[in-house]
Chains A and B, each alone.
Chain A
Amino acid sequence: MGYREKDSVETHNNHAKPIKSAVDKFALLPEFLKVRGLVKQHIDSFNYFINNEIKKIMKTNDRIECPQDPSLYLRYTKISIGKPVEYMEHHAEKLTPNICRLSDRTYASPIEVDIEYTVPNQTNKEYKKGLVIGRIPIMLRSSCCVLSGKDEAELAKLGECPLDPGGYFIIKGNEKVILIQEQLSKNRIIIDTDSKGRVNASVTSSTHETKTKTVFFIDKDKIYLQLNQFSKPISIMIIMKAMGMENDQEVMQMLGRDPKYGFLLFPSMQECRSEKIITQKQALEYLQGKLANLSSLRFEINKDDRVKKILINVFLAHVPVKDGNFRPKCIYTAVMLKRMMDAVLNVETFDDKDYVGNKRLELSGQLVALLFEDLFKTMNSQVASRMSKAYDKASRSTPLYFIHYMMSDTITNGLERAISTGNWDLKRFKMNRKGVSQVLSRLAFIATLGYMTRVSPQFEKTRKVSGPRALQPSQWGMLCPCDTPEGEGCGLTKNLALMTHVTTDEEEGPLIKWCRKLGVVDVEDLSGEELHAPDSFLVMLNGLILGKHTKPQKFANAMRKLRRKSVIGEFVSIFVHERQRCVYVASDGGRVCRPLVIADKGVSRIKEYHMKELRDGVRSFYDFVREGLIEYLDVNEENNALIALYEHEIPKDGHGEDNADVQKSSITHIEIEPFTILGVVAGLIPYPHHNQSPRNTYQCAMGKQAMGNIAYNQLSRADTLLYLLVYPQRPLLTTKTIELVGYDKLGAGQNATVAVMSYSGYDIEDAIVMNKSSLDRGFGRCIALKKQIVVKEIYSNETSDRIVRPQNEPRKQALDADGIAAPGQIVRRHDILVNKQSPRNKKDRITNPMALKDCDYAPSNVSYKGPEGETTVVDRVMLYSDKDNKMCVKFIIRHVRRPEIGDKFSSRHGQKGVIGTIVQQEDFPFSEEGICPDLIMNPHGFPSRMTIGKMIELLGSKAAVSSGRFHYGSAFGEPSGHADKVEDISRTLVKHGFNYSGKDLLYSGISGKPLQAYIFMGPIYYQKLKHMVLDKMHARSFGPRVTLTRQPTEGRARDGGLRLGEMERDCLIAYGASMLIYERLMLSSDPYQVQVCRQCGLLGYYNHKLKTSWCSMCKTGDSMSSLKLPYACKLLFQELQSMNVVPRLKLTEY
């Protein structure tokens, strides 16, 4: 299809020459990521909100009037967002992200507005500049953030990691990400079948004012409209008539000449006629009768108007009606009908809801904009109502100044609450979403990046559907095919690929102008007949019918040329849909797109000298786009393009052309780098294209649990839980993605020498055998940093806790003279961290709270809650005051752990395993070079998992250590040289005296004799995962019990018992071990002695004074028996009694 323009002579000249080796376009990638960053989509969208959207919101809601007196009003004239500051009592304190993180504050900027307002009985307007109406949380690295545009040194000064991507918010010290939300695109016709199998055309209209959904469906050959405002489906012909299309013939013409369409519409026409509706007036009257009684009581005034209003504002709300001209809406309806009928006639024309081109991604900017709009409107109405209340008050001492009623907490609190809880509950927009924002995981650097690219699904995860979970071909290059969670979110939660860009809204005005100039004829000027004239295509702009064009291909090419010349925006997409006979022009926000190299007849526009200029730094990625060498294509436009992976793959013109499955001249674009179809997390896997696909998915989940370095500022952060590796390394076998995202600087693993062999039987089921000496020398050693906060409480009677100097007491050896544990002190479980005392009297008023005596305080020490028997160290102590001005002490407690049996490790190929046993070095096998492996892995891990990538990683790493050069294993990188070929690796191995297959002769460390097989041995990058035995192991004999049932507590955190569950019980019953059941279920749980009255069968009690049992029901103690039963059983009886159910025990003697 497209791009068949005859281009300059230059290309032809080039054509004649033999094709040289392809230009290495890799350098474009780092350049692209440099200008764009990994989370640019978030930052771009937030910037767009702050710089444009917020102004639009203000403009549409810029006037507050006093309801009683419209001349009394307030008008916003300007809105702006400053730099993040916090207003203390008298001064403004500049905020930096790290200050906020450490002292639990919100990183937010004031929203300043300029206003003008009238005052009663005064002709002059009052003006006020820079009025703060609230504080808005600021996204890190956005244009308002103090970090924007800072270099590495400046960032370091602010305590920030240069590799941190930004794109999240800091709310009360917590880092929150607003996840990318996936949605079906707005304002587009979607043809589908509903649950009843009816053909169904729906449009979700979304404008700044309203959001509505219009559905057409075919039921029993008749076409109906379904709209919430009408109680029943309405025949489509009636709607047409109500919009002024009284002439049936015109409706027919709008659908086209083909009698097929006529037949399909005929039943609807008949129905309309049988209802005796011919004129517009009759139709409107009919519709009046069908109105749903939603809120009709309030607008009783003019029903006729209401129907019209619905037709204007609700029915296909995004199609504008100017001066009561319904024609655009009629045309739009006709187009929808036609597409529906096409679907009936030809099943292929159904739309695919899972098609990525039909999806829009909602980013944090848009979500915050919605929130802000809602809160802004709420605030304005609050101001108005306060004003009206004040106006009504007869006795006014002060004049009515609007400014007095402006309160800043509505917006501040509203934004803070929504972002910190993640609940977007906006009644105004009928939106109620939970989990929109989430705490940014700082478990691993990669986990953080993974969060920033995550796309959260539109459906609830519990639904058992396969369609939306399946891998979509249109996902190619936009969404990572590997990175998705296992389980319920599988295939629904997705991640962006490396080069994906998400568009923001763009002005339509200039686009419309250009379209008109290029010959798009306005549909309003056309008759219905001409609408679907066979020689013309409809031109749609963002879901609206702009007009039609007789030469669609020419038009599309011209538009694309404009885009390449940067006349129109770079993210505008032009897509010719042959089957629908439409040209779709899109400039709306939320589309995913990616950059591609433009090729003229298969010849790349990027030449070596371009790349040289890039390397020399005289050319930026932006220049490539501006000069039309690279362009962004969205999913729809990709359908018009033919994209080659490599330039040199294209067969030469002439010879062999017929054999090739694609003609070289038809190629329009060339990929920048094939491995960019993967995302950030999948990009860590070396040779992923040699692995079985689920393994890559598993690794994507596990890479986020690997310990390593979090950020450069990791030691000055105060996370609740932080795991760090003591000696992290960068992988010997890297990928290009690793270098692009900075994983080589913040690694999360170590290159372990692995021998693939069986050893000792403690390696079954993926367990690994570890070398003790390796562990002694620091392999897998990690630091766990845990946070504990102590608040010096201030009570309602103005008394407060105090922290006092410790006396020489037990468990207080870690305390300093100030009563707070000192950094560097060793603490064990139950050691006291803060020697705190609380006043005994916390409620009653006390005349002088400062003059309390020592005896008025009771100790309320705070002790360390850590694992039993481990020695930990106070790493840091931080003092700060929180937002209520209470003094807080933050302790960071450090625990250095060496790997132990049961700790979980994994390679980068979804091959996890726990340590099965730890073996002395002298028992380990050794090679002829004296190399002794760090760990031994069982070969049974390979055949079923088919992780060939891991084997190649071993070979490549071995070649890397012996040759002293890092080797590469980028996805699909062999042809372009971004992955070393096994052949080359083998050659390197042989050169250094190893076997080409990486298998060495090993001697047994126990017998000293050579092993009977050559052992596949070499380094593999191993990750230590966060799951460690220390945090999980649990056992108890005695322990706490629940007060209600007197049964042992549940769960490790509460030192709970281990439950003998139903199935275990079944086994014991089957086995006949009745005494064991008795012991487990009663004696070890909740035995209880009760007194039962044999007469009434109810429970009595034992009177300790009289030393007799007594039944309070029969008022006698004559026939009492004592009985042992579980306390929970007694509880059940009593609860039943409280519900008027009497359980009676019948006792018999055995």
Chain B
Amino acid sequence: MSETASLNMQDIPQGQLPEHIELQRARVFCKADAPVHTEDVEYSGAYAAVGFDNSLQVDDFRRDFRVEIKNLSMDDIEFDMIGIDASLANAFRRILIAEVPTMAIEKVLIVNNTSVMADEILSHRLGLLPIEADPRLFDFLSENDTPNERNTIVFKMEVHCKKRGPRLTVKSDQLKWLPNGSELLMESPNPSTKPRSFTSFSCSQASLPQISGRPIGMKHLDIIITQLGPGQSIELEAHAVKGTGKVHAKWSPVGTTWYRMLPEVKLLKEVRGNDAEKLVKKCPRKVFDVEDVGHAMKKAVVSRPRDCTLCRECISGAGEENIALRRVRDHFIFTVESTGALPAEVLFTEAVKILEEKCERVISELS
């Protein structure tokens, strides 16, 4: 920006921010040594002096907010959320990690375990296995509840490695769903009464209309749980309940979920000839391309700014004069990697619902 004396400055049109302020408002500058302007200006009247209204209007938000799905597979989704504040995008991220419930094995009843793996560790490993069951169909099991078909999923595992055989790798496919609940009987203090099992199912879960179509099981059948030596065996029952990632990471529905702000790579000066070639070569993510501008002259252009991982190779040394690396403040590239209980896109809507619910709760508490 060229220096101008303050008296000679142009009048700024009201209701519009000067270019450099607007840039600071809408972009994060990723300089070579540190990112600057990372914090946005939240105060609605921050630019009142120039007549710019910094408040967020619901109508504007409805008009400008966009979601563009870039990539959708079984368990993963990548989409752009445009026109939203970081705090909201972060809220979704946080809710996804910690507050969207899933089913996970919480209680393991070990009948026999002669493997080298200790019971506790075996249980811990079982707990981390993702279960393909829609958590929305189940209730939370609170402290005084008895486990029933509405809040508990029971799995059974019985593996034995033959004597004089090779070692056996126990994988998650060995866990069998018991739709009728626990088969193990509680030791009762009174031998005359009929022994009860550890769950009290009123009916088979398979007969429940919501479940009957899709039997419950492990999401991945090839997760190694442990290995058994010849003659060793494991017999256990695992009870899965509903929970949230806040309590334990095993209930987190996502492996991880995160966002990044849309990279913006701007060439401040034209980069030509050899320098252009060098620039293209410098970038490991191939953000730049070379374009012919005729007269055997070549020019560098930014062709894939989205791929920029901010290695800052292009702005190292004197590069900072030519190139500006920025992030668009209200454009989030959101990635959700589901562990498999629910598809990633459903998870996000669940997260939105939870936020909605929270808002409603606040509103109702306030009123």
Contact = CB atoms under 8 A, between A and B. Distances in A.
B120 A873 contact: yes
B98 A1009 contact: no
Secondary structure of the A contact surface, majority rule: mixed
Interface string A897-941: 000000000000000000000001110001111101000000000
A162 interface: no
A922 B258 CA distance: 10
B116 interface: yes
A1007 interface: yes
Interface in A307-364: none
Given A715-B116, A778-B124, A990-B313, A1007 B93 contact: no
A930 B327 contact: no
B175 interface: no
B284 interface: yes
Given A773-B249, A773-B252, A1014 B86 contact: no
Contacts of A1007: 86-87, 90
A63 B355 CA distance: 96
B301 interface: no
Interface string A996-1012: 10001101011111111
B335 A930 contact: yes
Contacts of A875: 118
A726 B327 CA distance: 42
A920 B28 contact: no
Q: Residue among A783, A990, A1009, A1012 with the most chain B CB within 10 A?
A: A1009
A920 B98 contact: yes
B38 A1009 contact: yes
Interface string B175-194: 00000000000000000000
Given A873-B119, A1007-B90, A926 B110 contact: no
A929 B337 CA distance: 12
A1045 to B, nearest CB: 44
Contact of A1014 (B34, B246, B250): B34
Given A922-B98, A1008-B86, A1008-B89, A995 B284 contact: no
B310 A995 contact: yes
A930 B78 CA distance: 12
Interface string B234-251: 000000000001101110
Contacts of B30: 1001
B250 A776 contact: yes
B274 interface: no
Contacts of A1008: 86-87, 89-91, 93
Given A921-B97, A930-B335, A1010 B261 contact: yes
Nearest to B325: A1001
B94 interface: yes
Nearest to A989: B311
B118 A896 contact: yes
Nearest to B127: A776
B318 interface: no
Contact of B311 (A776, A921, A922, A994): A994
B253 to A, nearest CB: 13
Interface string A717-758: 000000000100000000000000000000000000000000
B118 A783 contact: yes
Interface in B19-44: 28, 30, 33-36, 38-40
A162 B193 CA distance: 55
Contacts of A1124: none
A1010 B259 CA distance: 11
Interface residues of A, number: 44
A994 B245 CA distance: 30
Contacts of A591: none
A664 interface: no
B298 interface: no
Contacts of B261: 1010
A157 interface: no
A1032 B298 CA distance: 70
A991 interface: yes
Interface string B76-98: 00000000001101110110011
B150 interface: no
B284 A1000 contact: no
A828 to B, nearest CB: 15
B9 interface: no
Contacts of A1003: 90, 258-260
19 contacts: A726-B121, A772-B249, A777-B249, A778-B124, A778-B128, A894-B118, A894-B120, A896-B121, A921-B98, A928-B309, A990-B284, A991-B284, A995-B312, A996-B316, A1008-B89, A1009-B38, A1011-B38, A1012-B38, A1013-B35
Interface of B: 28, 30, 33-36, 38-40, 86-87, 89-91, 93-94, 97-98, 110, 113, 116, 118-121, 124, 128, 245-246, 248-250, 252, 256-261, 284-285, 309-313, 316, 327, 335, 337
Top 9 nearest A-B pairs by Cβ distance?
A: A1008-B90, A776-B249, A993-B309, A773-B249, A930-B258, A1008-B86, A922-B94, A896-B120, A928-B260
Given A776-B248, A1014-B34, 12 more contacts: A777-B128, A873-B118, A920-B98, A922-B94, A990-B284, A990-B313, A993-B285, A1001-B30, A1001-B35, A1001-B310, A1008-B87, A1011-B35
